[in-house]
Structure 1
Amino acid sequence: MFDDRIPPSALLLGLAGLLPFAWGVVTMWVPGTAELTMGLIGPRFIGPYVGLSYGTVILSFMSGVLWGFATRAEGGVAASGYALSTLPALWAFFMVGGGPVSAAMALIAGFLGLLGLDWLFWNQGLAPAWWMKLRVLLTTGVVLCLLPVTL
C-alpha cells in the first residue's frame, strides 16, 4: 500500500534541522540575540554565517542520503544514481563562497536542485513514499531562511 505519511521521527528531526537556519535569521533581525550568542558561543553562530556554514554541511549530507538511495537500484540506474548523488556536495564545494550574498544564492540554487534530484530518486521508487512531502517542506524552510541573506 502507498503510505505517504511522514514518520514522526523523520518530521521532528527534519524540522529540528531547520533551527540553525532560523537562528541565523533571528540573529540578523534581533540584535540582542546576536550579542548574546556572540558572547556565549562566538560570531560564527550568528547572522548569515550560521546558515551558510550549516547549509553547506547539509547540502553535502544530502549527497550521502541520495547515495544511500542509489544502493537500492541496480545496473545503469544505480550507476547514474551514484553519480547524481555527488552533485549536491560538489555544488557546495565549488559554488558556495565569495561573500554572504553569493553564497546564499548558491545554496538556494543548490537546495532547489537537490529537490529535483529528490524527485528523481523518489520517482524511481528509491526513496520512501513520503520523501517528497518532507523534502518540499524542508526545502521551503531552508530557502525562506536563506533569502534574507540575499537582500
Structure 2
Amino acid sequence: MLVGKLINLSHTKPDISYAIRVVSRFMHLPQVPHMDVVMRILKYLMGTSSRGVFFRKNGHFNLMAYIDADWAGDRDIRKFTLGYFTLVGGNLVTKRSKNQKVVALLSLEEEFRGIAKGITEILWLMKLLFELKFPTKEACKLFL
C-alpha cells in the first residue's frame, strides 16, 4: 500500500520514479531489504519536500522531448529500459520509463527505438495542441 502511494507521488517528483519502479517489482513478495529501500526513499522525500514539478506560464507552446535508453542495464531482467519525457511551453506534460519486451542486440537498435517513441509522442502532442487551437510556432526539439 505504501509503494502504491509512492507511485502516485512520483508523478510530481520524477526523481524517485526509477527507485519506485524497482521496488514495485517486489510488491507481491516483499522482504526486509525492500522495506529498507522504501524507508530510504521516504527519508529522501523528507529532505526534498520543497522540490518537485512546478508549472509556469511561459507564453509559448514549444515542444521538446528528451529520450534516453539503457541497453541491458537492468541486471535482473537483462532488457533495455527506455525513458522519455516531453515539455510543452517548458512544463512537463508526459513522462515514461519502461522495460521493453524485446531484447535489443545492439545499443544502436535501442536508440532508434527511443527516437521512434519520442517522435510518436511529439506528433501526438502536436496534433492535440492543433485540435485545441494552440499550434506550435517553432520546430519541435528532440534531445537524446
Same fold (TM over 0.5): no
Q: TM-score, normalised by structure 2?
A: 0.33
Greater radius of gyration (CA): 2
* Larger strand proportion of the pair: 2
Q: TM-score, normalised by structure 1?
A: 0.32
Higher relative contact order (CA 8 A, sep 6+): 1
